[in-house]
């Protein structure tokens, strides 16, 4: 980028921030319609347009920025969020707006408002239509429907394309197929097919609806296929360029849009269960797939798994607590690193919930086992499906009641208390050699970001 381009970009950011500070709604809207990337740009001392509008009491500008998805958890160099700014300057109506969730409910942490958030992999793009899973006639009709969408997985990796725009690689996109392109695969015994759901109906005012006839049609349903066919042969079915099957799920599956990430989480988790539980874990007999892929029944009519409800028959989800322990002084957080992490990376501690254990007790046990630190109060923040293979990450904040660290080297190689300012520097200004945080798609990143936002000092 030339110095002239940089200067023009800086001028555009300054113009946008000035419009927000003055409460010029029309100019804010016009600039964002032309350059949407302006919405979270920062100016002097890390102030965003949302913070400036909140500082000066411009309710309509704040409303507009929120409706366009601006980041209200962003903190400036003084560790203030837009909510902190509005509250400090007495703009209660704006503070209420910033603390409000979509359903008008508020969850409160001590001395802070907790706004529920959507994590990566969490978006429900499809209506799962679970009541239709037992309707085999309906499912059979939808399997051969020319409008139905099929996603193709090879060894649990989805076929994707990675388009480029102006030489820059965009979000990975799922390759979508129709029935005619995959019907031969559906005839093979080794193929696993699951029903994902139907596209959600567009609202009447949606710009994507196109007339009465289009609006009256049933939305297309989606399926996912996992096959052991040769990946190179499978790739020939897709006409899109730069198509591939990801080889490293923990990294490559973080490259989708929010909408497609939610679909991948559902599909991969269920397909992973089928790949691991093809035999009955009660008697060892074979099993058959039922209910659109959401149940496996034992073929042995005498097996006790056929009596009552058993978790061997349905896709399993493993609960995992992931927590950010906060120092008693409120200004440090506990992060650990595993040997497999990239150099300098630290993350939240995490561990599986054991049978008969509450979330709170699992948090306390795991923090003490891994770091030697004891924690007291535990507060749930949000959760995230993690389809590798099928975990539910339950994100919490916990307050430490001891500070001495003694790591269990079988679990992690190091744990350390990090000052809040150092964490802010890593979040806002990029990683340093001393501290690299997990990517934004992880709940660990969001927990850290949340702690920064709700523990701001003015």
DSSP 362-400: HHHHHHHHHHS--EEEEEEEEEEEETTTTEEEEEEEEEE
Q: Tell me the DSSP string of 118-143.
A: PPTT----EE--GGGGG-HHHHHHHH
Mean pLDDT of 220-249: 88
CATH number 1.10.3470 given to 126-276: no
Count CA atoms closer than 13 A to 82's CA, side-chain side: 33
Q: Tell me the DSSP string of 14-34.
A: HHHHHHHHHT-HHHHHHHHHH
Beta strands 107-109; 112-114: pairing state: antiparallel
% of residues, the chain, pLDDT over 90: 59
What pTM, to 2 d.p., does this model score?
0.72
| Residue among 458, 445, 456 nearest 113 (CA) | 456
% of residues, the chain, pLDDT over 70: 88
- Predicted confidence (pLDDT) at residue 73 exceeds the cutoff of 70: no
| Residue among 195, 172, 175, 191 nearest 183 (CA) | 191
- Predicted confidence (pLDDT) at residue 45 exceeds the cutoff of 90: no
Per the CB < 8 A criterion, the answer to whether 377 and 336 are in contact is no
- Predicted confidence (pLDDT) at residue 455 exceeds the cutoff of 60: no
State the Cα–Cα distance between residues 296 and 316, nearest whole angstrom.
12
Tokens of 307: 């009596």
| Residue among 324, 323, 381 nearest 115 (CA) | 381
CATH 3.90.79.10 residue ranges of the chain are 318-454
- Predicted confidence (pLDDT) at residue 207 exceeds the cutoff of 50: no
Mean pLDDT of 281-289: 93
**Is 286 exposed, middle or buried (CB count within 10 Å of its CB: 0-12, 13-18, 19+)?**
exposed
Indicate the CATH number of 3-100 among 1.10.10.10, 3.20.20.450, 1.25.40.20, 1.10.1200.10. 1.25.40.20
Architecture of domain 318-454: Alpha-Beta Complex (3.90)
- Predicted confidence (pLDDT) at residue 442 exceeds the cutoff of 90: yes
* Bond from prior residue into 74 cis (ω within 30 degrees of 0): no
Return the higher-pLDDT residue of 108 and 328. Answer: 328
Helix 25-34 with 59-67: angle, nearest 10 deg:
20
| Residue among 429, 431, 421 nearest 452 (CA) | 421
Cα distances from 394 to residues 119, 427, 444, 452, in angstroms, run 11, 22, 10, 19
- Predicted confidence (pLDDT) at residue 109 exceeds the cutoff of 50: no
């Amino acid at each position: 980028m030339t110095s002239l381009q940089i200067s023009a970009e800086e001028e555009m950011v300054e113009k946008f921030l000035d419009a927000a500070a003055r409460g010029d709604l029309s100019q804010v809207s016009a600039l964002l319609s032309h350059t949407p990337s302006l919405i979270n740009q920062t100016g002097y001392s890390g102030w965003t347009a949302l913070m400036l509008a909140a500082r000066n009491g411009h309710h309509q500008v704040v409303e507009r920025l929120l409706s366009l998805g601006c980041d209200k958890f962003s903190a400036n160099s003084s560790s203030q969020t837009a909510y902190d700014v509005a509250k400090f300057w007495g703009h209660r109506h704006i503070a209420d707006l910033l603390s409000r969730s979509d359903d008008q409910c508020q969850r409160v942490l001590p001395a802070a408002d907790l706004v529920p958030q959507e994590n990566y992999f969490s978006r429900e793009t499809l209506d799962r239509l679970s009541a239709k899973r037992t309707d085999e006639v309906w499912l059979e009709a939808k399997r051969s429907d020319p409008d139905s969408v099929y996603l193709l997985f090879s060894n649990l990796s989805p076929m994707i394309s990675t388009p480029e725009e102006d030489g820059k690689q965009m979000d990975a996109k799922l390759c979508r197929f129709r029935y005619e392109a995959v019907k031969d695969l559906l005839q093979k015994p080794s193929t696993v097919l699951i029903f994902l759901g139907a596209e959600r109906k567009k609202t009447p005012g949606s710009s994507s609806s196109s007339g009465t006839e289009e609006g009256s049609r049933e939305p297309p349903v989606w399926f996912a296929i996992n096959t052991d066919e040769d990946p190179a042969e499978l790739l020939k079915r897709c006409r899109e360029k730069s198509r591939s099957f990801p080889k490293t799920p923990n990294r490559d599956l973080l490259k989708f849009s929010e909408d497609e990430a939610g679909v991948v989480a559902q599909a991969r988790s269920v397909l992973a269960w089928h790949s691991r539980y093809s035999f009955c874990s009660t008697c060892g007999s074979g099993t058959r797939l039922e209910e659109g892929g959401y149940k496996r029944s034992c073929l042995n009519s005498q097996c006790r798994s056929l009596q009552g409800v058993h978790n061997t028959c349905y896709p399993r989800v493993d609960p995992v607590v992931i927590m950010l322990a906060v120092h008693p002084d409120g200004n440090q957080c506990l992060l650990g690193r595993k040997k497999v992490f990239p150099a300098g990376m630290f993350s939240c501690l995490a561990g599986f919930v054991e049978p008969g254990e509450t979330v709170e007790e699992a948090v306390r046990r795991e923090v003490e086992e891994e770091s030697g630190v004891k924690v007291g109060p535990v507060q749930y923040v949000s959760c995230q499906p993690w389809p590798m293979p099928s975990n539910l990450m339950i994100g919490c904040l916990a307050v430490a009641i001891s500070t001495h660290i003694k790591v269990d080297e079988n679990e992690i190689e190091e744990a350390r208390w990090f000052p809040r300012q150092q964490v802010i520097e890593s979040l806002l200004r990029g990683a340093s050699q001393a501290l690299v945080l997990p990517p934004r798609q992880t709940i660990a990143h969001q927990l850290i970001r949340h702690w920064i936002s709700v523990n701001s000092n003015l």
